[in-house]
Amino acid sequence: MDYNKLKEAVITEIDKLAEEMKAVAKAIHEKPEIGYQEYEASRLLCGFLEKNDFKVKRNIAGMETAFAASYPEKADGPTIALLAEYDALPGLGHGCGHNLIGTASVGAAVGLSKVLPKLKGRIAVMGCPAEEAGIDNAGGKVRLIKKGSFKDIDAAFIFHPFPMTTVGGETTTLLGLEFNFKGNPAHAAGNPWDGINALDGVLLTFNAINALRQHIRDGVRIHGIITHGGDAPNIVPEKASARFFLRTENKESLLEIIQKVKACAEGAATATGTKLEVNTFCNLYDSMKSNSVLASILEKNLNALGLSVEGRKKGKGSTDFGNVTRVVPACELGLRLGNGIVPHTREFLHAANSEEGFKVMMQGAKVLALSALDLLYSDGLLEKAKKEFEGVQKCNSTKVQKEK
Ligand SMILES: [Zn+2]
Ligand SMILES: [Zn+2]
């Protein structure tokens, strides 16, 4: 079959899935599950894939809701992975639109699989739990990478609904730090002098970090919440805890900020006489290093659907897809959802369960499938992407050696 016919066939196959995809995206939206608890979402997506002859491995890399799907199970050619996310935000449901992400990747893979026997190679869907970093051990992709789940993958794509249409771009690194202060309880009115106030440790940490803000580089983000502030106003708080996210442009500056923020908490512990315990609560999210060859493939296919890039992503957000871009050639597609609305808001939550949201999801599925098709079909394209990736890897390792 000639190339243009193949492309038309992929689009026709994805269009045939529209109603089913919409039903899956709706169901995931209406039963939001936070990271590592996405049992229903993962069941729906795996079921969709299995029904369409994909071989699905569930419960992988020590995560019950992670999965790896492949069609065919084995092939001589390369493996192109489409990544699925399907976790919700605590308290805000699918305010990041991950119901559309998981379903788009699955729909794209199934649509493409219908023409795949005519190609050499394999299409994979990686089910990646817990992208939202607010929960313990978040960063499903980081854990998949650590367990070797990406070692047979030659290139990876993901789609995300976004405030503008874009390919690639930049994200920041991210680490979650938790500070647990321990003091001594006492009657807050009767004998407060016998108490050691753990909450004061937390409050002074916030104040010290706020003082630090004037002396940090542009683009660094430090934001936190109090996760425990005591048990009753008439007891001097024995225990108090806070969680912070630290985000910077690169790993080197992240390490620097970690030290400074830790020093704020240590100072607070000294001032209050409390004991301090410091933990990291999520995996380190690396910044995104988009592959420019894959970015241009995504852009070409966007244009083929009558869409165009509206701007470059240079957000202060972070994603564990950044870690994926460090181990395989990879690129993210962002498609505009709504007009001037941003993820993690009620407006975005509603848009992710609207006709417009489902339309964007279908467009995302088509661009992903056509781009995977390009890599499997066009001679030399994947090699070009890999060559650029190896160049970046080499450049990174000499940089690290120099810094040692
Ligand atoms: Zn999000
Ligand atoms: Zn997201």
| Mean pLDDT of all residues belonging to the chain | 95
331/322 Cα distance (integer angstroms): 9
Residue 75 CA neighbour count, 13 Å, CB half? 23
- Ligand 1 center to 147 CA (angstroms): 24
Confidence label for 392 from pLDDT (cuts 50, 70 and 90): confident
Q: What is the pLDDT of residues 243-252, one digit of tens each?
A: 999 999 999 9
Q: Which residue has the higher pLDDT, 214 or 312?
A: 214
pLDDT for residue 297 = 98
From the CA of 161, which ligand is nearest?
A: 2
pLDDT for residue 195 = 97
- Ligand 2 center to 389 CA (angstroms): 24
87/275 Cα distance (integer angstroms): 35
Is 337 exposed, middle or buried, given 0-12, 13-18 or 19+ CB atoms closer than 10 A? Answer: buried
Q: What is the mean pLDDT of residues 259-278?
A: 98
Q: Which among 140, 155, 173 is positioned nearest to 62, based on CA atoms?
A: 140
pLDDT for residue 398 = 54
Confidence label for 182 from pLDDT (cuts 50, 70 and 90): very high
- Ligand 2 center to 323 CA (angstroms): 15
Q: Is the pLDDT of residue 342 over 90?
A: yes
CATH architecture observed for domain 173-280: 2-Layer Sandwich (3.30)
Tokens matching residue 34: 């936070």
Residue 68 CA neighbour count, 13 Å, CB half? 21
Domain spans, the chain: 3-171+285-397, 173-280
pLDDT for residue 399 = 53
Options 3.30.70.2200, 3.40.630.10, 3.30.70.980, 3.40.50.300; CATH of 3-171+285-397 = 3.40.630.10
- Ligand 1 center to 403 CA (angstroms): 33
- Which helix (DSSP H) or strand (DSSP E) does residue 310 occupy? none
Q: What is the mean pLDDT of residues 174-198?
A: 97
- Ligand 1 center to 132 CA (angstroms): 6
Q: Is the pLDDT of residue 396 over 90?
A: no
Q: Is 55 helix (H, G, I), strand (E, B) or coil?
A: strand
- Ligand 1 center to 59 CA (angstroms): 23
Q: Is the pLDDT of residue 404 over 60?
A: no
Whether the ω angle into residue 329 lies within 30 degrees of 0, i.e. cis, is no
159/168 Cα distance (integer angstroms): 10
- Ligand 2 center to 331 CA (angstroms): 15
CB-based contacts of 361, cutoff 8 Å, min separation 6: 21, 22, 25, 100, 103, 104, 107, 161
- Ligand 1 center to 319 CA (angstroms): 8
- Ligand 2 center to 369 CA (angstroms): 20
Q: Which among 41, 36, 99, 132 is positioned nearest to 344, based on CA atoms?
A: 132
Q: Which among 111, 112, 123, 264 is positioned nearest to 202, based on CA atoms?
A: 264
Q: Is the pLDDT of residue 400 over 70?
A: no
- 175, 246 in Cβ contact below 8 A? yes
pLDDT for residue 1 = 66
- Ligand 1 center to 366 CA (angstroms): 22
Q: Is 251 helix (H, G, I), strand (E, B) or coil?
A: helix
Q: Is the pLDDT of residue 312 over 90?
A: no
Neighbours of ion ligand 2 (CB under 5 A): 96
Q: What is the DSSP string of 103-134?
A: HHHHHHHHHHHTTGGGSSSEEEEEE----STT
- Ligand 2 center to 140 CA (angstroms): 13
Q: What is the mean pLDDT of residues 4-23?
A: 96
Q: What is the mean pLDDT of residues 7-16?
A: 97
- Ligand 2 center to 153 CA (angstroms): 22
Neighbours of ion ligand 1 (CB under 5 A): 96
Q: What is the pLDDT of residues 223-241, one digit of tens each?
A: 999 999 999 999 999 999 9
Q: Is the pLDDT of residue 257 over 70?
A: yes
Tokens matching residue 65: 């809701």
Q: Is the pLDDT of residue 11 over 90?
A: yes
